[in-house]
Amino acid sequence: MKEIRRATIVDVGLKAGVSIKTVSRVFNDAPNVSAAVRERVREAAQELDYHPNVFAQGLVRRRSHLIGLLYENPSPSYVVELQMGVLDRLRLAHYRLVVIPVSSVQDRAAEVVGLLRSAALDGVVLAPPASDNPRILADLTAAGIRFARIAPTQNLEAGPSNLIDDVAAGREIAEHLLGLGHVSIAVIMGDPTHASSNARLTGYRQAFDAAGVVLDPHMIEPGLFTRASGYEAASRLFDRKAGMTAILAQNDDMAVGALMAARERGLSVPEDVSIVGFDDSEVSRITWPRLTTIRQPVFEMAASATDMVVAQLDGTPVTMRQDHAHSLLIRESSGPARR
């Protein structure tokens, strides 16, 4: 098989009619190169399908051109949305993505900055719960590593942040079920180390209080944002005959788990029990019945957080706070309460 020869910086210089040094200056965004020469070099590179070596550029600029995405959330759909948002922002930038999953941010908070340093990252996007972890925020600041946060709920002045109002979102989806006549409503909580879990519960309580309905503490089951934990929590509720007509699951994966538990017991959704989720992840749209849920703009929040990191690294103005709107999506998994 004949080896395909890749274009080099020499080829680009010859085609553009400039020196190798000039080509290097163009791709390193160095000053004192005219706009016309820059355009000629970039056109030559495009015609030759030449791509500069980001690691070589990093040696020149003393940067790795790597941006990390630190996350813990076990929901595959949520993680994919995060990654796609970061990649979309980096598509035309001089940076590359390094994905850094952590099994337990709470347990490994002291190790995180060392991990980022060993990966030689220029900056990092922090997803929940890392975006709220005070040890990680303090260590990043002390180490001089640029960062931006997705969905923090505390210490918003600690760094650039992208926000969603989890309390308002929780209140809105609870109001939806209450408006359908449900008064016996169970809750499947998310991971307790994620601040959003309590924020959403606060929103539920506000809706219940406004409607004059009591949220029975015995109808609140723990979960971990995983499908398995949603299934187990719903199974406990069904097995002890809790008598709920609706379930508020704090993410879509757990809602799907609850849906599976209901079907195993011969229950129809939403005729026998309504089940709603949170996130508007892909699974909410492909399961049947499709899930009523809150759309959390994860893709947009990740892209915006990445933009904040890049702005810090490039020395351009940084937006310190970006508020993102949620929306209630009513689908087939919620319906009027049974008599």
The CATH number of the domain where 15 resides is what?
1.10.260.40
The residue behind tokens 């080509």 is 23
Structural domain containing residue 48:
9-52
Q: Is residue 331, in this structure, part of any structural domain at all?
A: no
Bridge partners (DSSP) listed for residue 249: 188
- With left for phi above 0 and alpha for psi between -120 and 50, is residue 62 left, alpha or beta? left
The answer to whether residues 14 and 97 belong to one domain is: no
At residue 92, the pLDDT reads 73
Q: Is residue 334, in this structure, part of any structural domain at all?
A: no
At residue 59, the pLDDT reads 42
Q: Is residue 232, in this structure, part of any structural domain at all?
A: yes
At residue 81, the pLDDT reads 87
At residue 5, the pLDDT reads 64
The answer to whether residues 13 and 100 belong to one domain is: no
At residue 250, the pLDDT reads 96
The answer to whether residues 262 and 170 belong to one domain is: yes
Q: Is residue 147, in this structure, part of any structural domain at all?
A: yes
Q: Is residue 335, in this structure, part of any structural domain at all?
A: no
- Please state, in angstroms and rounded to a whole number, the distance separating the CA atoms of residues 169 and 166: 5
Whole-model pTM: value is 0.74
Bridge partners (DSSP) listed for residue 97: 67
- Identify the DSSP state of 200: H
At residue 29, the pLDDT reads 67
Q: Is residue 25, in this structure, part of any structural domain at all?
A: yes
Q: Are 173 and 248 in contact (CB under 8 A)?
A: yes
CA 185 to chain CA mean position, Å:
28
- Please state, in angstroms and rounded to a whole number, the distance separating the CA atoms of residues 273 and 159: 42
The answer to whether residues 22 and 81 belong to one domain is: no
pLDDT per residue of the chain (339 residues) written in tens, 0 to 9: 445 567 777 788 888 888 877 887 777 666 778 888 888 888 888 887 776 655 455 444 556 688 888 888 667 778 888 889 999 888 877 788 888 888 788 888 888 888 777 777 889 999 888 888 889 899 888 888 899 999 988 888 888 999 999 999 999 999 999 999 999 999 999 988 888 899 999 999 999 999 999 999 999 999 999 999 999 999 999 998 878 999 999 999 999 999 999 999 999 999 999 999 999 988 899 999 999 999 999 999 999 999 999 999 888 899 899 999 999 999 999 999 987
The H-or-E segment that residue 146 falls in is strand 146-150
Domain total of the chain:
3
The answer to whether residues 175 and 281 belong to one domain is: yes
- Please state, in angstroms and rounded to a whole number, the distance separating the CA atoms of residues 335 and 327: 18
Q: Is residue 337, in this structure, part of any structural domain at all?
A: no
The answer to whether residues 244 and 311 belong to one domain is: no
The answer to whether residues 190 and 289 belong to one domain is: yes
Q: Are 69 and 100 in contact (CB under 8 A)?
A: yes
At residue 155, the pLDDT reads 81
The answer to whether residues 213 and 270 belong to one domain is: yes
**Residue 252 belongs to domain with CATH number:** 3.40.50.2300
